[in-house]
Amino acid sequence: MNQRAAILSLITPAYLWLALTILLPLSAMLYYSFLSDVPIGNREVSWTTENYRTFFEKAFYSELMLRSFKLGAEVTSICLLLGFPCALALAKSIRGRTKEALFLLIILPFWSNALVRIFSWTMVLRGNGILEYSINWLLPGTGPLDLMFTYPAILLGLVHSYLPYMILTCYISIDAIDNQLLEAARSLGAGKLTILFRLIVPLALPGIVAGSFLIFIPVIGSFMEPRLLGGRNGTFIGTIIEDQFTAVFNWPLGAALSFIMMGLVLLILFGFSPLVRRLK
Amino acid sequence: MANVSVLNLSKNFGTTTALDRVSFQFEDGKFFALLGPSGSGKTTLLRMIAGFESPDQGSIHIGGKVVDHIPVEKRDIGMVFQNYALFPNMNVQANVGFGLRVRGISGSEMKRLVAEALELVRLSGFDNRQPDQLSGGQRQRVALARAIVTKPRVLLLDEPLSALDRTLRLEMEIELKRIQRDVGITTIFVTHDQEEALTMSDQIGILNEGQLVQHGSPVDIYENPQSVFVARFLGEANLLRGQADGKNVKLEIGGTVKTLSKPAYPQVICSIRPEKISIQKEQEVHRSNGNRVAGRVNEHIFNGTSLTYLVQCGNLVVKVFVQNLSGEVIPPNSSVHLFFRPEDTLVFPDA
């Protein structure tokens, strides 16, 4: 009984906090999503499902949703392709001081404000900016790159922001793989590629899946990078939702779109859950 | 199957010497134990034969060919690791079949060979189990089946029994020996357990501080240790200090004894195994030939089949093993005489 009280006292503060900060605002938003207007002042509001119907009636929204999911998939894939080899080298080949220094470099982006980071990208990418200037200096006559306000610029900014998550989650699961397993595979005649694809990748899958979700979910709802680096090309479901709250002042539609996005993400999570369960 | 020879192997890790000019010939089809305390270099030697470490000097031959520049995966070895290293993402069949699939053997041929190997280690029907559904002894057998299914030229075992409890270990010692005999594979076994080395191997190599200090058959090494270290490390030994006195040795604890060989140094240590000493009460002494030392019984430990006496001789406690022939126990504080043959009194220089 004593132990039970101890456990309760350990977990209650955290769960209470989560309930207050997540469930309460979320229920408020759910409430808004079924209203006809923002209930401020003397506006007349009524219950409606119109906000949800809008999404399915106007192709514009589902196209944007698809575009956001595509962005999420691309950013996640690039992060995986860049992050996994890096995590592998950090976990299995690099030791001591060098490893510490390299880890510091990975975590460095977390120390700066996201807005500052994105704005500094605009300095690099804009016409006659740092990137164009340097390339033209190295290879005269390359001409303008026109990267600013393009889809690749958004990818660049998002990969920059989210790559550390993939490296860190993959590192943790690769580091946990016993070196004797890899030695055993070598003693049985396995080459490097066989070891990578039949042992390391399957055993690191929990880290890969965790990293992918940590990146995919925020990326599909992202609005800062698309807006600042994408300009006219930066319209995604995240920026539309932000517009509903800050510019158009249509909170009910913004809330409904948010819940539709959340529902789709949950569907994907459920789709992956058999895979995740198999890993345990 | 092949013989393995190492020539003049040396290896340093930073400033510590792991191996110091070790040469040895592992004959085809025999079972070898590399025995030594931790840090003696035995594991380094095994890992070098496997190819996980490269020697600073010297070379390794497998089947008469130099393998120094051949990586582990091309050396055609089988290895069993201390914690078995079964692949947790594969079932027993996939674990055992891993080396076969790497060699391009799959389908029914792979299944047949895996079944054969599992039968050899008496685990038929365990194909679809996951490693975490197996007991320690079963994991050990799977690891062994996995290591021999590819018919490697040499089998390397890195303290494979140390994680098992005593009963299981004794059972596996017999099993391992049987499997090795059935397959006829050259086997090199690293252990720090002297009993394991004595009971299982055809040949024992004893390592200390990176050097191969002695090698030979278990009986040979046990009966004729070439140094105090070997005498103490393999089996038990009473060590009595003394001074050379012509052909004899004058012991510090009193008395003069004859030794197997003439003492070649002024300061010597005599080594006598506890089971080679007989004990008699002072008033019942009826034997006078051979070496004799007087003492007083401190205590006895009764094991049923045998007795261990701890006898105070001067400032030294001498251990004596006696077979329980008469059912009689000499009580503590009795004055006794200890007898041992000159042939069993080995003499070493006192370093």
CA dist B207 → A26, B35, B189, B190, B198 (Å): 69, 6, 13, 11, 15
Q: Which residues of A touch B151 (CB under 8 A)?
A: none
User: B225 and B337: one domain?
Assistant: no
Q: For residue B223, give the amino acid letter.
A: E
pLDDT of residue B22: 94
Q: Are residues B92 and B220 in the same domain?
A: yes
Give the three-state DSSP class for A154. helix
- Residue A105 domain-assigned? yes
Q: Which domain holds residue A124?
A: 59-279
Whole-angstrom distance, CA of residue A110 vs CA of residue A116: 11
Residue A188 touches chain B, beta carbons under 8 Å: yes
The residue from B165, B200, B230 where one domain ends is B230
Give the total number of structural domains in chain A: 1
Q: Listing from the earlier edge strand, what are the strands of the sheet with B57-62?
A: B16-26, B4-13, B57-62, B65-66
Q: What share of chain B is helix, strand, coil (3-state, %, to 5)?
A: 30, 35, 35
> Domain for residue A100, yes or no?
yes
Which residues 61-90 on chain B approach chain A with CB closer than 8 angstroms? 71-74, 76-79, 81-83, 85, 87-89
* Whether residue B334 is found in the same domain as residue B272: yes
What six digits make up the tokens of B277? 């000493």
Residue A140: per-residue pLDDT: 84
Q: Does B146 lie at the interface with A, CB-CB under 8 angstroms? A: yes
Q: CA-CA distance, A260 to A64, in Å (whole number)? A: 12
Between positions 196 and 215 of A, the ones with CB within 8 A of B are: 198-199, 202-203
- Out of B182, B203, B230, a domain closes at B230
CATH code for the domain of B340: 2.40.50.100
Section A187-203 average pLDDT: 95
What pLDDT is recorded for position B296? 94
- Decide: helix, strand or coil at residue A276: helix
Q: Is the same domain home to B223 and B244?
A: no
Q: Same structural domain for residues B68 and B179?
A: yes
- Look at residue A108 in the predicted model and tell me its pLDDT: 82
Same domain, B69 and B104: yes
Alpha-carbon distance A78 to A156, whole Å? 10
For B54, the domain range is 4-230
Q: Are residues B197 and B307 in the same domain?
A: no
Q: Is the dihedral of CA B179, B184, B185, B187 positive or negative?
A: positive
Residue A187 in contact with partner chain B when CB distance is under 8 A: yes
What does the pLDDT look like over A141-170, one tens digit per residue? 777 778 889 999 999 999 999 999 999 999
Whether residues B87 and B196 fall in one domain: yes
Question: Are B98 and A185 a contacting pair at CB < 8 A?
Answer: yes
Q: Taking Cα atoms as reference points, which of B184, B234, B177 lies closest to residue B205?
A: B234
Tokens of B159: 């303290």
Out of B209, B230, B251, pick the residue that ends a domain: B230
Best CA proximity match to B80, nearest among A136, A173, A90, A187: A187
- CATH number of the domain that residue B146 is part of: 3.40.50.300
The backbone torsions φ and ψ at residue A34, rounded to the nearest 5 degrees and listed phi first, read -105, 15
Same domain, B166 and B308: no
CB B19 within 8 A of CB B210: yes
Average pLDDT over residues A234-247: 91
B208 and B75 share a domain?
yes
pLDDT averaged per 10 residues in sequence order, chain B, 351 residues: 89 91 93 93 95 95 94 95 94 96 94 95 93 93 95 94 85 89 93 90 95 95 94 92 88 87 87 93 76 92 92 93 90 92 91 74
- Round to the nearest angstrom and report the end-to-end CA distance of chain A: 31
A-chain residues near B76 (CB < 8 A): 189
CA distances from A78 to A72, A280, B231 (A): 10, 26, 64
Q: Is residue A46 part of a domain?
A: no
pLDDT tens-digit map of A37-89 = 888 777 888 899 999 999 999 999 999 999 999 999 999 999 999 999 999 99
Which pLDDT value is given to residue A114?
Answer: 84
pLDDT (0 to 100) of residue A147: 84
Name the B residues in 89-108 with CB < 8 Å from any A CB.
Answer: 89, 98-99, 102-103
User: Angle, nearest 10°, between helix axes A151-175 and A59-92?
Assistant: 40
**Cβ–Cβ < 8 Å for B348, B268:** yes
Burial label, B170 (beta-carbon count in 10 A; 0-12, 13-18, 19+)? middle
**What's the pLDDT at A260?**
94
Instruction: Look at chain B and report how many structural domains it folds into.
Output: 2
Q: Do B141 and B120 form a contact (C-beta atoms < 8 A)?
A: no
Say whether both B10 and B82 belong to one domain. yes
Nearest to A178 among B73, B85, B150 (CB): B85
Separation of alpha carbons B314 and B296, rounded Å: 9
pLDDT for residue A280 is more than 60: no
B53 touches chain A (CB under 8 A): no
* CATH at A163: 1.10.3720.10
- Kindly state the helix (H) or strand (E) to which residue A103 belongs, with its residue range: helix A96-107
CA angle, A84 as apex, A79 and A85 as ends, to 5°? 120
At A275 the pLDDT is 72
Query: To the nearest whole percent, how much of chain A has pLDDT over 90?
Result: 63
The tokens describing B71, both together, are 């990586």
Q: How far is A182 from chain B (nearest CA, A)?
A: 9
pLDDT of residue B2: 83
Which A-chain residues 130-169 have CB contacts (< 8 A) with chain B? none
Contact B78, B150 (CB under 8 A): yes
User: How close does chain A come to B10, measured CA to CA in Å?
Assistant: 22
Measuring CA to CA, how many Å separate A112 from each of A108, A117, A161, B81, B138? 7, 7, 11, 46, 53
pLDDT of A255 reads: 94
Residue A194 lies in a domain: yes
Give me the residues paired with residue B206 across strands: B35, B214
Phi, psi of A207 (to 5 degrees): -70, -40
Exposure letters B264-284 (e unless 16+ CB within 10 A, then b): eeeebbbbbbbbbbebeeeee
Q: Å from A78 to nearest chain B CA?
A: 26
Q: Report the residue of chain B nearest A194, measured CA to CA.
A: B102
Shortest CB distance from A188 goes to which of B52, B88, B99? B99
pLDDT tens, position by position, A1-45: 689 999 999 999 999 999 899 988 999 999 999 998 888 777 888
**For range A104-125, the mean pLDDT:** 86
Distance CA B161, CA B155 (A): 15
> CB contact, 8 Å: A184 with chain B?
yes
Instruction: Tell whether A250 is covered by a domain.
Output: yes
Report chain B's C-alpha Rg in angstroms.
25
Is residue B185 located within the same domain as residue B217?
yes
